[in-house]
Amino acid sequence: MPRILLCAWLFVIANVVKQSRKQKNIIMKKLLFLLLLVSCQLSIVNSKNLIVLHTNDLHSQIEPASSNNLGGFARLAGQINQIRAENPDNVLLLDAGDIWQGTPYFNFFGGELEFDFLNRLNFDATTLGNHEFDNGIEHLAEKLQMLTVPVVLTNYDVSESLIKDFIKPYLILERNGLKIGILGLLINMDGLALEQNFEGIKYRDAIETTNEISAFLKNEKKCDIVICLSHLGFNNDKILAGQSENIDLIIGGHTHTLLENGWTETNRNGKTVTIAQARSSGMYLGVVEIELQVENMRAKN
């Protein structure tokens, strides 16, 4: 059985504050060394690494936030490009929704600048937040035509709506020889958005849907890792993690929660699920390092 180790932290998107990668590497190496010591002498451990960069609730914050001068799309881009340059084969860049709404840029340009940013940075996937419906589903469908980034939404039936051609129920990506399944989850919008703004899309229970599709991704599609892009909010993410069986990581959003070192829950099978969320408005760039160890048993001579 593969063993998955996850380690989550955040980069502050400012000019000066940055965590030392050197220190992190040493910690990870020590951890690996310890694991090698405790594992059976007859086994060979092959490990593969993946770095997941994540944003959530960017909320049209194209310029740095005026309250604390953190964030801004240019700084985010700089940090993302640097990490990708240092790790050319094993980085995923994901977003958990509510890209729109919050600054006059959205009111003037209707979300095109934000989608252009996702396109330019080549995000690997995003999901929809409730604020993507603020100008109605017709507006969203029109703007989705320009978005080249895959939009994953698993727990809504969109088959009879205007956005049906732009939504994928799940996604499978490959990085560094790993197969990664991606789900997208959006909170029940009853009471959160005007009903006519999300006309034609039908909510399905997030936990039930996640368990069904994640089992399919792990068992049928043979994914090594399953990641949920969740716009459910932190408390719902904790419940989801506890009731899940086949997800490894939740990239959260909606509640603008700052999880400096991630959060872990134990799932139905006693395995650890990591939850990460990077506050809001691009003030932080979330980083999750995943190490997947596969032990091949060797016969004793």
The Cα-based distances of 254 to 91, 194, 259 in angstroms read: 24, 17, 13
From residue 196 to residue 215, the character string flagging contacts with Zn ion as x (rule: CB under 5 A) and all else as - is --------------------
Phi and psi angles of residue 58, each rounded to the nearest 5 degrees, phi first: -65, -25
Q: Considering the complex, state which of residue 71 and residue 97 has its C-beta at the smaller distance from Zn ion.
A: 97
The nearest distance, CB 135 to Zn ion, in angstroms, is: 15
Assess 55 for contact with Zn ion (CB under 5 A). no
Assess 135 for contact with Zn ion (CB under 5 A). no
* Tokens of residue 259, six digits: 């999880």
Q: Where does 127-270 show beta strands of DSSP type E?
A: 151-152, 156-157, 167-168, 171-175, 178-186, 202-203, 225-231, 249-252, 263-266
Assess 130 for contact with Zn ion (CB under 5 A). yes
Q: Considering the complex, state which of residue 105 and residue 180 has its C-beta at the smaller distance from Zn ion.
A: 105
Q: Which of 102, 129, 184, 252 binds Zn ion (CB under 5 A)?
A: 129
Roughly how many angstroms between the first and final C-alpha of the chain, as a whole number? 23
The nearest distance, CB 129 to Zn ion, in angstroms, is: 4
**Torsion angle of alpha carbons 68, 69, 72, 77, nearest 10°?**
-110
Q: Considering the complex, state which of residue 218 and residue 254 has its C-beta at the smaller distance from Zn ion.
A: 254
From residue 72 to residue 111, the character string flagging contacts with Zn ion as x (rule: CB under 5 A) and all else as - is --------------------------x-------------
Footprint on residues 247-286 left by Zn ion (CB under 5 A): 254
Number of residues that bind Zn ion (CB under 5 A): 4
* Tokens of residue 31, six digits: 């951890």
Report how far residue 231's alpha carbon sits from residue 228's, in angstroms, rounded to the nearest whole number: 9
Q: Considering the complex, state which of residue 98 and residue 248 has its C-beta at the smaller distance from Zn ion.
A: 98
Q: Residue 165, class by beta-carbon neighbours within 10 Å (0-12 exposed, 13-18 middle, 19+ buried)? A: exposed
Q: Considering the complex, state which of residue 71 and residue 181 has its C-beta at the smaller distance from Zn ion.
A: 71
The answer to whether the beta carbons of residues 287 and 11 sit under 8 Å apart is yes
From residue 161 to residue 190, the character string flagging contacts with Zn ion as x (rule: CB under 5 A) and all else as - is ------------------------------
Stretch that binds Zn ion, among 4-12, 63-71, 126-134, 261-269 (CB under 5 A): 126-134
Phi and psi angles of residue 274, each rounded to the nearest 5 degrees, phi first: -95, 135
Q: Considering the complex, state which of residue 54 and residue 254 has its C-beta at the smaller distance from Zn ion.
A: 254
Contact set with Zn ion (CB under 5 A)? 98, 129-130, 254
